[in-house]
Amino acid sequence: MTAVQALAAPPALIGLDWGTTALRAYLFDERGGVIATRASGDGIMRLPQPGAFDAAFEAACGDWLDMSPSLPVIAAGMIGSAQGWREAPYVETPADALALVAGIVRVSAACGADIHIVPGVIEHGELPNVMRGEETQIVGALASAALDGETRALVGLPGTHAKWAVVRGERIESFHTFMTGEVYGALREHTILGRTMIEPAQFDTQAFLRGVAVAQHAHGAGLLATIFSTRTLGLTGELEPQQQPDYLSGLLIGHELAGLAALLASRGVALAGEAPRLIGSATLCERYRLALTQFGCLRASIVEAAAESGLWRLAVQAGLVGRRAFAPAG
């Protein structure tokens, strides 16, 4: 059976979530439903040679274009960075879907397809912040929220470089980046903390929440003053080797949330009163949801298919597909 015969409905759009280490491709029907998906390890940092982007795109989507050569293509993520296929300059905050669409740049693939690359977002200030790809996920997460112009929402995107965005209406007003995931990996792999760790067979909730509590009640001491406890609690027999990874995870996420709470408080907003939308892997988002409850934040929800919904919504806004189509966030 060919790819054309296998499809449940005629295709209308190709969407690409193209990041640093991976490429995910989605084929949409005319109503915004995803009818086929592809995934590969062809992230931008693995494509150094000239022509590699064309080859990766062809490998992921070539047969889709063979069956429908005129399919529009929209892409988001690091593909629009200076190291990507073509740079899409950042849009400044406050940024909404209209601003993102206005900043789209096009690159022509060797196969003849025009790829519409969504720009990232930058927040200027004493400590500037940038995002690429997360802005599209945020658009997708809010697709079914029906927020009015003054409704404020908090969106969290756990991961290597966790993002927390404050959105008003559908405008990304401000956001913060926490290098929680990358620091966790570095500490486990490249410091003495990892020497005594054993990978647990399953998630240790108690050890994780203990780490969250230590961070929460550090009284401003900060991560550097508490992180060594991962080792000392092991040395004194209070943490088993298989508990230490989840304790460290809780400690880092706890410090992230304590920092977020302080940043929100400086704006007169209490984290405990928020209902954050979490975007990312279900397992990681569940850790964050659990940690948030320790900060009194009990209404967090996990959003599914945010990237797909965001790509579709921006394609509709850009006129690449019909405006009658709509794909709600999960």
- Which runs of consecutive H residues, i.e. helices, occur in 161-243? 180-190, 205-216, 223-226, 229-235
Q: Is 87 helix (H, G, I), strand (E, B) or coil?
A: coil
Order of strands, edge to edge, in the sheet holding 73-76? 34-40, 23-29, 11-18, 73-76, 114-117, 105-108
Q: Give CA–CA dist 102/235, Å, rounded.
A: 57
Same domain, 209 and 122: no
Same domain, 143 and 116: yes
Residue 273 lies in a domain: no
* Average pLDDT, integer, range 272-280: 96
* Average pLDDT, integer, range 141-162: 82
Residue 82 lies in a domain: yes
Same domain, 78 and 137: yes
Q: Structurally, how many domains does the chain consist of? A: 2
**CATH number for the domain that contains residue 251:** 3.30.420.310
Percent of the chain residues past pLDDT 90, beyond the cut? 89
Q: Please state the pTM of the whole predicted model.
A: 0.92
* Average pLDDT, integer, range 195-206: 96
Domain that holds residue 66: 3-177+305-317
Same domain, 224 and 163: no
pLDDT for position 325: 44
146 neighbors 127 (Cβ within 8 angstroms) = no
Same domain, 188 and 129: no
Q: Is 10 helix (H, G, I), strand (E, B) or coil?
A: coil
Residue 326 lies in a domain: no
pLDDT for position 143: 80
Lowest mean pLDDT among 26-40, 46-60, 183-197, 272-286: 46-60
* Average pLDDT, integer, range 156-162: 96
